[in-house]
Structure 1
Amino acid sequence: MLTRTNALSLTDQLSERFAERIRSRLLAPGARLPSVRDCARQHGVSPHTVVAAYDQLQAQGLVEARRKRGFYVRDAAVRPAPPPNAAAMVAAPPIPADASSLIRGMFHRPSAKPQPGMGVFPPDWLDSTFMPAALRRVTAGPVLQELSLQYGEPAGDTALRRSLSQKLLGINVPAAPEQIMTTIGATHALDIVSRTLLRAGDPVMVEEPGWAIEFARLEALGMRILPVPRRADGPDLDVMARYCSAGDGHRPKLFVSVSVLHNPTGYSLTPGSAHRLLQLANQHDFHIVEDDTYSHLAPDHATRLCALDGLQRTIYVSGFAKILAPNWRIGYLAAPPALHARLLETKLLTTLTTPAIFERALAWCIDQGQLRRHSERIRVRLDAARQRTVKLALAAGCSFVSEPAGLFGWVETGVDTDALTQRLLDEGYLIAPGSLFHARRPPDTRMRVNFATAQDAQFWKVYARVREELR
Structure 2
Amino acid sequence: MPLPQIHFHDHAPKVQQIVEAFAHAIEQGELAAGSKLPSVRELGAQLGVGKFTVNEALDRLRGQHLLTSRQGRGHFVAQRQTQPSSSNWVDLLPQDLLSVLRRPMLTGQGELRPGGGHLPEDWLDSEALRQALRSVVRAPSLRVAGMGTPAGFLPLRQALQQKLQGDGLAVPVEQIITTPSTLQGLDMLMRLLARPGDTVLLDAPCYFNFHANLALHGVKVVTLPRGPEGFDLAALEQLLAEERPSLYVTTSILHNPTGHSFSAAQAFGLLQLMRQHHCHIIEDDLYGDLHPNPPPRLAALAGLEQVTYLAGFSKTLSANTRVSYVVAAPQLAANLTNMKLMSGGVTSELFEQLVYRLLSEGSYARHRKRMVQRLLEAGTRVEQWLRRCGCELPMGYEAGMFIWARLPAGVNGEQLAEAGLKRGMVLAPGALFGYEPGVGDFMRFNVAHCDDPRVRQAIEQLLR
The answer for the alignment partner of 1:324 in structure 2 is: 317
The answer for the alignment partner of 1:73 in structure 2 is: none
- Partner letter of residue 140 of structure 1? R
The 5 Å alignment of 1:294-333 reads 294-333=287-326
The answer for the alignment partner of 1:24 in structure 2 is: none
User: Following the alignment from structure 2 to structure 1, what is the Cα–Cα distance between the partners of residues 89 and 134?
Assistant: 43
The answer for the alignment partner of 1:407 in structure 2 is: 401
The answer for the alignment partner of 1:242 in structure 2 is: 238
User: Following the alignment from structure 2 to structure 1, what is the Cα–Cα distance between the partners of residues 324 and 290?
Assistant: 16
- Any conservation in 2 of the 1:265–1:410 contact (CA below 8 Å)? yes
User: Following the alignment from structure 1 to structure 2, what is the Cα–Cα distance between the partners of residues 94 and 382?
Assistant: 35
The answer for the alignment partner of 1:263 in structure 2 is: 256
- Any conservation in 1 of the 2:449–2:455 contact (CA below 8 Å)? no
State the aligned residue count: 378
- Partner letter of residue 102 of structure 2? L
- Any conservation in 2 of the 1:94–1:104 contact (CA below 8 Å)? no
User: Following the alignment from structure 1 to structure 2, what is the Cα–Cα distance between the partners of residues 237 and 318?
Assistant: 26
User: Following the alignment from structure 2 to structure 1, what is the Cα–Cα distance between the partners of residues 189 and 90?
Assistant: 34
Which TM-score applies when normalising by structure 1?
A: 0.74
CA deviation profile, 1:295-345 (whole Å, cap 9, x unmatched): 211135512111111222101101001110221210001011232222222
The answer for the alignment partner of 1:428 in structure 2 is: 424
- Equivalent residue in structure 2 for 1:132, among 106, 130, 133: 130
- Any conservation in 2 of the 1:206–1:228 contact (CA below 8 Å)? yes
- Equivalent residue in structure 2 for 1:169, among 155, 165, 168: 165
**Unaligned regions of 5+ residues in structure 1, if any?**
1-83
- Any conservation in 1 of the 2:430–2:441 contact (CA below 8 Å)? yes
The answer for the alignment partner of 2:39 in structure 1 is: none
Aligned to 1:316, the other structure's residue is in SS state strand
- Equivalent residue in structure 1 for 2:444, among 436, 440, 448: 448
User: Following the alignment from structure 1 to structure 2, what is the Cα–Cα distance between the partners of residues 311 and 390?
Assistant: 36
- Describe the shift of the 1:447–1:137 C-alpha distance in structure 2 as closer, same or farther (beyond 3 A): same
**Unaligned regions of 5+ residues in structure 2, if any?**
1-83
- Partner letter of residue 404 of structure 2? W
The answer for the alignment partner of 2:214 in structure 1 is: 218
Pair 1:463-2:453 in alignment: no
- Equivalent residue in structure 2 for 1:334, among 322, 327, 335: 327
- Any conservation in 2 of the 1:260–1:267 contact (CA below 8 Å)? yes
Aligned to 2:138, the other structure's residue is in SS state coil
Displacement of 1:388 after TM fit? 2.4
The answer for the alignment partner of 1:3 in structure 2 is: none
- Partner letter of residue 109 of structure 2? R
**Larger mean Cα displacement after TM superposition, 95-104 or 348-357:** 95-104
- Describe the shift of the 1:428–1:441 C-alpha distance in structure 2 as closer, same or farther (beyond 3 A): farther
- Any conservation in 2 of the 1:184–1:329 contact (CA below 8 Å)? yes
The 5 Å alignment of 1:53-68 reads none
The answer for the alignment partner of 1:391 in structure 2 is: 384
User: Following the alignment from structure 1 to structure 2, what is the Cα–Cα distance between the partners of residues 260 and 304?
Assistant: 8
The 5 Å alignment of 1:49-198 reads 91=91, 98=98, 102=102, 104-110=104-110, 112=111, 114-144=112-142, 147-198=143-194
User: Following the alignment from structure 2 to structure 1, what is the Cα–Cα distance between the partners of residues 271 and 329?
Assistant: 15
User: Following the alignment from structure 2 to structure 1, what is the Cα–Cα distance between the partners of residues 97 and 177?
Assistant: 32
Q: Alignment RMSD, CA only?
A: 2.6
- Describe the shift of the 1:376–1:92 C-alpha distance in structure 2 as closer, same or farther (beyond 3 A): farther
Displacement of 1:442 after TM fit? 6.8
- Any conservation in 2 of the 1:397–1:464 contact (CA below 8 Å)? no
Displacement of 1:392 after TM fit? 2.3
- Partner letter of residue 231 of structure 1? G
Aligned to 1:118, the other structure's residue is in SS state coil
Displacement of 1:221 after TM fit? 1.9
Q: What is the identity percentage for the equivalent residue pairs of Structure 1 and Structure 2?
A: 34
Displacement of 1:171 after TM fit? 0.9
Displacement of 1:258 after TM fit? 0.8
The answer for the alignment partner of 2:413 in structure 1 is: 417
User: Following the alignment from structure 2 to structure 1, what is the Cα–Cα distance between the partners of residues 191 and 210?
Assistant: 13
Displacement of 1:137 after TM fit? 2.6
User: Following the alignment from structure 1 to structure 2, what is the Cα–Cα distance between the partners of residues 151 and 228?
Assistant: 42
CA deviation profile, 1:359-416 (whole Å, cap 9, x unmatched): 1221121111111100111112212221222232222222212111310011111222
Displacement of 1:267 after TM fit? 1.1
- Describe the shift of the 1:395–1:171 C-alpha distance in structure 2 as closer, same or farther (beyond 3 A): same
Aligned to 2:310, the other structure's residue is in SS state strand
Pair 1:379-2:377 in alignment: no
User: Following the alignment from structure 1 to structure 2, what is the Cα–Cα distance between the partners of residues 308 and 299?
Assistant: 19
